[in-house]
Structure 1
Amino acid sequence: MFTILLLGSDHIREKDGLWAVLIWLSIMAARKQGVEEIVREHWAKFGRHYYCRFDYEALDPRTAYFIMRDLEALITDKSFTNQQFAVGSHVYTVQKANSFEYVDPVDGTVTKRQGLRIIFSDASRLIFRLSASSHVRATLRIYAESYEKDPSKHDREPQAVLSPLIAIALKISQIHERTGRKGPTVIT
């Protein structure tokens, strides 16, 4: 009965979270370890990915559209590649920037304009996505991701690790200046 409820979209909307819980429970039972021990072993073997998402909810759709339009024009200009951003002691060099698309691995259909992506030479990246569920309000999301192989740096807080990338995202998008916001609605 539980499986049927998980698969039925009329009953539970956000099924991915439930599947993740079931997978973690299965892994913990098979390995007879807690989540922290499993995660730390994984980081030691493969490195750690730091990730965060800033959501700017309930934006004026027109303002959000123009932020994304201007950002796309900026990052797709050929001069943007190899541009450097010095934040603190780290220098981030743009390796690639584009409007990305999704190719369905099952049927090969292509969905264009899924967001704007900036990949830096150290493999860190920023992604900007616009979600406009109505003509009344829009959500602009900023994703930041960085990878760390060095085990001595695996205990750092994601916000601290990713703050230089977020500073770059805020600078080039000018989202605070253009929306009058002082920060995101939600940080994940």
Structure 2
Amino acid sequence: MVFKTYSIIPKLRLMVLIMKSKVIVLAEDSKTSPSRLFRYLNSLEYDINVKETCFGAFIEGEDGVVDEVVKLVRNLEKNKIFCKDRGFPIWDQRRCRAFRKGGPREGFHQLEAEQKILDRISKALDAVENEEISEDELEEEFKNLKNKKLKVDAFEKIADEVLKEN
């Protein structure tokens, strides 16, 4: 267990267990489903809390334990399962829809947008891993794209065309 000691008043020490919460997001072309991921996480012999979501799962536990579980999960489908830190514990009343009487939680739409591009990211990671493209080539392509800025009048023209279509 990882504890952090705080000394608020001399001779009084407060021990706090360091907990971590992570979001596990599956790429849309992943072979693993959220329910399969949930069952797998619950089958592990680790002291963690797991919540199934439409895009994957939330996991929560001691700092080191969560990191260990994430490594195991990523090995299921290396370039199809992505993880990131979550700022709030599972069932936190400030974020959980059950306590807020429904509606999407804050940040859901951003997470949804991120998930939609994960299949392309996984294909790029596979290409680098299989040496179909080098990291240097990717870096060069990124530099070329970065230098191609869209002029304001070109953007206005595109916006006008889109507005006319709708």
Taking structure 1 as the reference length, the TM-score comes to: 0.26
Higher RCO by CA contacts (8 Å cutoff, separation 6 or greater): 1
Query: Which structure has the highest strand share of the two?
Result: 1
Taking structure 2 as the reference length, the TM-score comes to: 0.28
Instruction: From the CA coordinates, give the structure whose radius of gyration is larger.
Output: 2
